[in-house]
Amino acid sequence: MLRCELEYFFGALRFFTRLPVPAWVGHSSAALDHSARYFPAVGIVVGALAALAYLLASSFWPTTLAVLAAMGTAIYLTGAFHEDGWSDMVDGFGGGWEKAQILSIMKDSRIGSFGAIALVMLLLARFCALIELAPPTIPLSLVAGHALSRFAATTLLRGLDYVRDEGKAKPLATRIGYGELAFAAGTAALPLLLLPALPALVGCMLAALATLWLARLYRRRIGGYTGDCLGATQQLAEVAFYCGLLCDFS
């Protein structure tokens, strides 16, 4: 039982990051179906390593450079997997009118004007939000943001259908069960407990609104989701969470 759960976790880690996993972990589509519950756990790992990069960099450099180091670390660890999904999604939905056209644009490896502009704006928004946080809270915010945003993407596996016959996310296309979704939610909630309650709640609300808006867009325009849609949801939810932490109600 424990070995199976470890295989599911390491399978998710291998799928979404460049981090090494034990040699005994297999390449099973069936196992990857069950790995969705561990997406927030992968986020905790990526966020923790990004937070470590921030702490090391902040020992020598100002907050701006330390935040850039953290962002660069996360992008390197994931191979810009989710950022690529964001730019592809915006290209497809920005340049396409019908489902087939949108899917065709998203599948194109080239980046268009919509995607390039959206990617630059997203990275700037993430950077600006992080540097506005109190420096001591940035490491915890990174861990929480990466975990929560991956849970946001995981919810699409429950609420929407996969719309391609094949693709990077095809092994994940099995609809996640409520028990697995609850486990993922609990994992995503753990880092939130270390943040101030009200800002964390607002951050979660903004991330949820971003996820619901995108889910509605996906359902209306293409009838479901693709792998790029999952990556785009993770990206926007993460930025929305950081923005929520900055809300001032005083």
Q: Is it the case that residue 28 has pLDDT exceeding 70? A: no
> Does the global pTM surpass 0.85?
yes
Q: Between the CA of residue 185 and those of 41, 124, 150, 153, 211, what are the distances in Å?
A: 10, 28, 10, 11, 14
**Is the Cβ–Cβ distance between 83 and 126 less than 8 Å?**
no
pLDDT of res. 166: 66
Query: pLDDT tier at 184 (50, 70, 90 boundaries)?
Result: very high
**Is the Cβ–Cβ distance between 237 and 149 less than 8 Å?**
yes
Rounded mean pLDDT of 72-78? 98
pLDDT of res. 21: 86
pLDDT tens track for 125-169: 999 999 999 999 999 999 999 999 999 999 999 989 999 776 555
Q: Is it the case that residue 121 has pLDDT exceeding 70? A: yes
Mean pLDDT of the chain: 92
pLDDT tens track for 83-107: 999 999 999 999 888 999 999 999 8
- Distance, CA of 189 to CA of 85 (rounded, Å): 25
Tell me the domain boundaries of the chain. Answer: 2-243
- Distance, CA of 186 to CA of 243 (rounded, Å): 22
